[in-house]
Amino acid sequence: MQNFIFQNSVKIVFGKGQISKLSSLIDTNKKVMLLYGGGSIKRNGVYDQVMESLKNHTVVEFSGIEPNPQYGTLMRAVQMVRNEKVDFLLAVGGGSVLDGTKFISAATNFKGYAWDIIAKNAPLTGVTLPIGTIITLPATGSEMNANFVVTNEDTKEKLGMNKPEVLPQFSILDPEAIYSLPEKQVSNGIVDSFIHTTEQYLTYPDHGYLQDRQAEAILKTLIEIGPKYLKDKTNYELASNFMWCATNALNGNISVGMPQDWVTHMIGHELTALYGVDHGQSLAIVLPGVLEVKKEEKAEKLLQYAERVWDITEGTNEEKIDLAIQKTIDFFESLGVKTRLSDYNIDDSKFEMIRQRLTKRNMLLTGERKSFTPEDAVKVLELRK
């Protein structure tokens, strides 16, 4: 296990009716900006619960943060935060709203071109605004991490960043808030949580026995409850477990001291930026290809995955690994998430452009062994046609 320093100070307020705790989580002397997306929170009653709880606070609103939040939209919010002298940001929605809010927090007092925060990892020059969140879509783990992914609509770039300064102070996780999710978003969320886990687990063994078991626990729980939850979307216990899996898949816990991959996400972001496929869909397409291309380097962990996660006991090591990859594909498909580029009408015309973009961005050697090249990305895409 490698040396590590781990700090995650997000206060998690979990359970039914917990949105009512908002009033005590934010000082009444703070001017709050409520940030949300396209209106799902108005239809499922979450907005009303927020406003009821904040009735003694001064609240301004910014709505319209879109899925895969866009730089231009977020900069309009930054302008409003400055004009209104807001001093607390409350993000209510899915990962896009939470990520967008983190960017707004970082950009408000930033001196310079704010896109550089993401594109160049520019140090945050001014103070960030405190953030609280209410997550309504279990998937990204954004409620308990400091990551944010933003799309630049002009250059069609989708890039992620991590800045400890924008870690939320608190996040409310009310499983009842996810009952209204469309099936597609539930499936995407299960796949995203699953692949966050594999990005930190399907690498090479590094004696993180506990971390391995924790990752396997998340994967096995998602395999067990995912299909059940899709058929029973108001089942509180299933919703709770799905939510807690998603948070634990990307709150930093399972990756401490361990190698990490993230190549599937890197290629997936290109597919979303260029073709508009959902984040979860992009990952379901790419992961099987990455496992195939890096099968030898990942062999030990793939075998462990086959035996411990999919309970495959028969066959040679190679057969076990092949079956585990096939079972992974079948799992995503069983959730209704298609896994081939052709399922989304994507042809190979932009593969070369993707290779060039990764090269230009200096993503020359990535993955857990720093051995994955832009050419490998093309191989992965070729396999997923």
Contact residues: Zn ion, CB under 5 A: 192
Residue 39 or 123 having the CB closest to ligand NZQ: 39
Of 18, 136, 200, 281, the one binding ligand NZQ (CB under 6 A) is: 136
Binding flag, residue 163, ligand NZQ (CB under 6 A): no
Of 141, 168, 175, 252, the one binding ligand NZQ (CB under 6 A) is: 141
Query: Could you give the dihedral angle defined by the CA atoms of residues 71, 74, 76 and 80, in that order, rounded to the nearest 10 degrees?
Result: -160
Binding flag, residue 152, ligand NZQ (CB under 6 A): no
Within 91-120, which residues bind ligand NZQ (CB under 6 A)? 93-97, 99
Q: Which residue has the tokens 């857990």?
A: 368
How far, rounded to the nearest angstrom, does the alpha carbon of residue 382 sit from its chain's CA centroid?
A: 25
Which of the stretches 32-40, 110-118, 215-223, 342-350 binds ligand NZQ when contact is defined by CB under 6 A?
32-40
Residue 145 or 241 having the CB closest to Zn ion: 145
Please list the alpha-helical segments (H only) found in 30-154.
40-43, 46-53, 71-84, 95-107, 116-119
Sign of the alpha-carbon dihedral angle for 89, 90, 93, 99: positive
For the chain, what's the residue count?
A: 385
Residue 53 or 281 having the CB closest to Zn ion: 281
How far, rounded to the nearest angstrom, does the alpha carbon of residue 1 sit from its chain's CA centroid?
A: 25
Binding flag, residue 246, ligand NZQ (CB under 6 A): no
CB of 250 to ligand NZQ, least distance (A): 5
Binding flag, residue 367, ligand NZQ (CB under 6 A): no
Query: Could you give the dihedral angle defined by the CA atoms of residues 194, 146, 181 and 225, in that order, rounded to the nearest 10 degrees?
Result: 30
Sign of the alpha-carbon dihedral angle for 367, 372, 373, 374: negative
Of 250, 271, 285, 325, the one binding ligand NZQ (CB under 6 A) is: 250
For residue 68, the partner it binds in Zn ion, ligand NZQ, none, with Cβ less than 5 to 8 A by kind, is: ligand NZQ
C-beta separation of 240 from 135 below 8 A: no
For residue 130, the partner it binds in Zn ion, ligand NZQ, none, with Cβ less than 5 to 8 A by kind, is: none
For residue 367, the partner it binds in ligand NZQ, Zn ion, none, with Cβ less than 5 to 8 A by kind, is: none
